[in-house]
Amino acid sequence: MYVCCCEGVTDRQIKISIENGNIVSFNDLCAEFGIANNCGKCLEEVREIFNESIKRKSNSFNSEFKDIFKPEIGTKLILQ
Task: Single out the segment in contact with ligand FES by CB under 6 A; choices: 11-19, 32-40, 52-60, 69-77.
Answer: 32-40
Q: How far apart (Å, rounded) are the C-alpha atoms in residues 46 and 4? A: 8
Site for ligand FES in 2-21 (CB under 6 A): 4-7
Q: Which of 18, 29, 36, 49 binds ligand FES (CB under 6 A)?
A: 36
C-alpha dihedral (51, 55, 57, 60), degrees to nearest 10: -170
Half-sphere exposure of 70 (CA within 13 A, CB side): 7
Q: Which of 18, 42, 50, 53 binds ligand FES (CB under 6 A)?
A: 42
Does 24 engage in binding with ligand FES (CB under 6 A)? no
